[in-house]
Amino acid sequence: MSRKLFSVLAILMIASLVLTACGSTDGESGGNEIMDRVQARGNVVCGIRTDLAGFGYLDDAGNNAGFDVDLCRAVAAAVFGDANAVEFVPLSASDRGPVLQTAEVDLLTRNVTWTSSRDAQWGNFTTIMFYDGQGFMVHADSGISAPADMDGATICVTSGTTTESNLASYMADNGWSYEAVIAEETSVVYSNYEEGRCDAATSDQSQLASVRSGFDDPSAHNLLDVTISKEPLTPAVPHGDDVWFDTVKTVMWSLINAELYGVTQSNVGSMGASDNANVRKMLGTEGNWGYEELGLSATALADAIAAVGNYGEVYDRYMGPNGVSFELARGLNEHWTNGGLIYAPPIK
């Protein structure tokens, strides 16, 4: 090997090591580009839905409301001290991946299921905030009382979703035939179902319960006692910014831990003096829970809790016994201490 060629190769190797250490040049890792953009803009651009009671809808005054909407507001409160520092972008199911890939939104909280392919292709999924599973809703007079009765049925489903692919796999695995009635907009899916264009509708069980609660006669529709998939619903952020990714995760963890420690929207102002060190750290009155590295204030998580409440308060606001949307038992969305799956790393 010539000395000149050896020198060229050596330079290339050094350059490769530098790129590896500093992160790739295409923005796929490291950096804080999104956080810088959010702070410079002064708000969080959040992808949501406006057509699903309980999760993302417009209230009587035309304001965005719902479980997923409050998760966005919590992040805004943590970053800016203002839960209203949000620009909401309504999205269809098929919009979700593209706008996350191109970073047209800073945060996606639109009933999005965390899967391995989406994690690789769409963006970074943060923390599971709602455990769900796919089910079926049928007309009470349809004669369908069990999944096997759907052999040969017409089934309404939303395009571009895990629901559509899960349905195809489930029916094929059981050797059943069916005709899919597909629509891109969720509202059209259920209009088709309600008008009798299909025998059944399929989606996440929480969505089916939400939609049924809005029908003129909910008792005319049955939810089959079957769950055909795992649907962990998870806020997601674009690839390329670890600081923003960590910020959103930590805010979600704080809502979960707040319920565990009894920190509520009404008492968070006084809980900074708690005799529980975990609470003092989370609320920023003792130690550094990571806020210095994230460029946030010590009270950022306290601000998030003050804005929307803890996890249980957000859930109950829309889906609790006195919720404004409908009642849905927490089930797997109970804390791990109550037999559920809701669990978060400690804030410290």
One digit per residue, pLDDT tens: the chain, 348 residues?
Answer: 444 433 433 433 333 333 333 433 333 445 789 999 999 999 999 999 999 999 999 999 999 999 999 999 999 999 999 999 999 999 998 999 999 999 999 999 998 999 999 999 999 999 999 999 999 999 999 999 999 999 999 999 999 899 999 999 999 999 999 999 999 888 899 999 999 999 999 999 999 999 999 899 999 999 999 999 999 999 999 999 999 999 999 999 999 999 999 999 999 999 999 999 999 999 999 999 999 999 999 999 999 999 999 999 999 999 999 999 999 999 999 999 999 999 999 999
User: Is residue 72 within 8 Å of 78, Cβ to Cβ?
Assistant: no
> Is the same domain home to 242 and 153?
no
Structural domain contains residue 316: yes
Q: How many domains does the chain have?
A: 2
Asked if the structure places residue 341 within a domain, the reply is no
Q: Are residues 209 and 86 in the same domain?
A: no
In a domain, 54, yes or no: yes
CA proximity to 265, closest of 303, 309, 300, 227: 309
Q: What is the pLDDT of residue 187?
A: 87
What are phi and psi for residue 57, nearest 5 degrees? -155, 175
What local confidence, expressed as pLDDT, does residue 79 receive? 98
Query: 124 and 93 in one domain?
Result: yes
- Residues 164 and 157 sit within 8 Å (Cβ to Cβ): yes
CA-to-CA separations, 63 to 50, 95, 317, in angstroms, rounded: 10, 22, 15
Tell whether 85 and 216 lie within a shared domain: no
Which token pair is 321? 């016994």
Residue 345 lies in a domain: no
> Structural domain of residue 215, as residue ranges?
134-229
From the centroid of its chain, how far is CA 211? 19
Residues 126 and 178 in one domain: no
> Does residue 143 share a domain with residue 203?
yes
Which of 214, 229, 244 terminates a domain? The answer is 229
114 and 253 inside one domain: yes
Residue 239 and residue 210 share a domain = no
Same structural domain for residues 139 and 119?
no
Q: Same structural domain for residues 322 and 244?
A: yes
Q: Is residue 158 part of a domain?
A: yes
Task: Tell me if 167 sits within 8 A of 182, measured CB to CB.
Answer: no
Residues 104 and 82 grouped into a single domain: yes
- 279 occurs within a structural domain: no
Q: How far apart are the C-alpha atoms of 74 and 299, rounded to whole Å?
A: 13
Residue that has been written with the tokens 């692919």 in this structure? 165
Question: Is 319 within a domain?
Answer: yes
* Predicted TM-score of the model (pTM): 0.88
Question: Residue 185 has what pLDDT?
Answer: 86
CA separation, residue 240 to residues 24, 30, 35, 42, 294 (Å):
9, 6, 10, 20, 15
**C-alpha to C-alpha distances, 259 to 121, 123, 262, nearest whole angstrom:** 33, 28, 5
- Three-state DSSP at 186 gives helix
Nearest to 45 by CA among 93, 115, 100: 100
Instruction: Flag whether 63 is in a domain.
Output: yes
CATH number (domain holding residue 142): 3.40.190.10
Same domain, 180 and 241: no
